[in-house]
Structures are given as structure tokens and as C-alpha cells.
Structure 1
Amino acid sequence: MKGKQSSTEPFWIPKEIGVGIGINPRNTAGFWVSLAVTLSILTVLLVLIVSLIL
């Protein structure tokens, strides 16, 4: 089931690198949370860069 999303997958999974837990991108909710966080960070960085240029 590699690459497939399912709500039956656990939301939290152990990190592959490092210590602790992370959001499981194979879980449907985890995928959308990860996508929203990534897009938010990119938007903030873009706004900061544009505001420094202008």
C-alpha cells in the first residue's frame, strides 16, 4: 500500500530519522495537515522575501 492514503492508517507514527513521533502522510488527515503546514510556511517565506525587496 505504498503511496496510498487511507483513514485506517495511524495518524502518528515513529520518526524514521531522529527520536519522537511525526504525522503519517499515508493517513488522509495527516496528508492534508502536512500539506497545509508546508504551504503556509512557503507562503510566509514568500511574503517576507517580497516585503524585504519592496
Structure 2
Amino acid sequence: MSFWRVLLAILFPPLSVIGKGCGSFVIVLLLTLCGWVPGVIGALVILNNTN
């Protein structure tokens, strides 16, 4: 995880996971719509995944 991805995950979570696929983007977008904190946590979990 690069510093810029983490910073982007904190500021706008869906944009940070756009390179991980459409499903990840939609999941993080829905989490962000439910609240900012769940979106940030979801984005960081997806970015931390090594697969």
C-alpha cells in the first residue's frame, strides 16, 4: 500500500479501489454511502489484501 493510496482511501474511499475491479468499487461505494467510516475501513481492507 502506498502512502497516496492510503491518503486517497481516507479522503474518497471508492476512488482508491478503482484499480481493484468493479465489484470492489461498488462495495466501497455502498459502504461510503452508509457512512464515511465504513467506506474508509472497507477501502483499507481491500487495499491491504495481497491477492
Q: TM-score, normalised by structure 2?
A: 0.34
Determine which structure has the larger helix proportion and give its number. 2
User: Which structure exhibits the higher relative contact order, with contacts defined as CA atoms closer than 8 Å and separated by 6 or more residues?
Assistant: 2
Determine which structure has the larger strand proportion and give its number. 1
Of the two, which has the highest radius of gyration? 1
